[in-house]
Amino acid sequence: MLKLSTPALAWLTVVVNAIVILQGAVVRATGSGAGCGRHWPLCNGEVVPLAPSVETLIEFSHRLLSLAALLLGLWLLVRAWRFQRENPPLFTWASLAFFFLIVEALLGAATVLLGLTGDNATVGRGLMVATHLVNSLLLVGALCAALVYALPRAPGPVRAGAQPLVTTVLAVGLVGMLVLMFSGGIAAMGNTIFPSESLAAGIAADFDPTSHLLIRLRILHPLIAISVGLYLFLSLGLSWWLKPVARAKRTAQTLLGVYVVQLLVGTLNLALLAPVTLQVLHLGLAVAAFALLSVFAVYTLGDTPEPRALQLHRLASRAPGAPLREPQGDGSLM
């Protein structure tokens, strides 16, 4: 029987679910969502398609990997349940992650059974894709929180009520990222169903009152992305000032770097009329950014802050030009 340590199992679950999310983008961008017809969980009425087309192979492989992700989530939940007395936060986050996994499966099933695939150009399809992506982010956030508590030297439990100001600052950032992902889902569907012949034609269509609603809503996505980026830059610094946690600081630095790259890739994706590879890369960076923000929130709300007086003392006593050293080897993700 395969034996994995709890940290290894948590890592594997996060990675497989991230791949499933990116694979879902490939399914959407290639128009393969109707590859199994309006059949679920069967594929074109078969358990295993015997003469599949390329679209059927893409959709069927996505379903198989989604099943693997669901089973890994269940395995992690059972493992966390075994250690719930010793590690209650791990069980809490693993339970929440499994809930989002179930919702993920139901949304996927509804997408197929309601015919929100293929050439369907309704606003309902755009809303379904956007909702699916938001749930995917919530799933990744819960899994990353579970991963943090599966690692050595995990932080204490998240006590949001005991630190309302920093909790509010972080909550607004998380909600902002979810709104950004929702708008990204709408924009992606607009690009998929109504591809533009050129960048100029696409921008003109965005402002044309006769264009389809999915097209006219695309312009909101880059505006929201810039707004959320500015908020993250300010809020991460404010959170660190309110509660200085060394592991959270390193996570924040990585997050800001990933977000900047995401903005650049998004701009390139727009300029090149959304090729599949850039769509997948753009989504992957968005998922990574939300994962890092979730980890930052857990460290900030759960870790013990470094005393402000000690920080000031170390800053005053260090040699000119020497870096302010932080604890190393703390079992964190970063």
DSSP string, 97-149: HHHHHHHHHHHHHHHHHTT-STT---HHHHHHHHHHHHHHHHHHHHHHHHHHH
Q: Which letter does DSSP use for residue 84 in this model?
A: T
Longest dimension (CA), the chain: 73
- Sign of the four-CA dihedral 22, 17, 8, 149: positive
How does pLDDT run across 52-86, given as a tens digit for each residue? Answer: 899 999 999 999 999 999 999 999 999 999 999 99
Q: Name the residue type at position 233.
A: F
Q: Is the pLDDT of residue 262 over 90?
A: yes
Among 296, 31, 47, CA closest to 177: 296
Pairwise CA distance, residues 245 & 303, whole Å: 7
Handedness of CA 201, 184, 236, 153 (dihedral sign): negative
Which token pair is 68? 């693997």
In angstroms, the CA 136 to CA 283 distance is 11
- How confident is residue 161, by pLDDT bands cut at 50, 70 and 90? confident
pLDDT band with cut points at 50, 70 and 90 for residue 301: very high
- How does the average pLDDT of the chain come out, rounded? 91
Which pTM value belongs to this model? 0.90
Angle at 139 between CA 295 and CA 36, to 5 degrees: 145
**Eight-state DSSP code of residue 307:** P
Query: Which pLDDT score, from 0 to 100, does residue 28 have?
Result: 93
Query: 298 with 155: CB under 8 angstroms?
Result: yes
Asked whether the beta carbons of 273 and 199 are under 8 A apart, the reply is yes
DSSP-derived secondary structure for 248-263:
HHHHHHHHHHHHHHHH
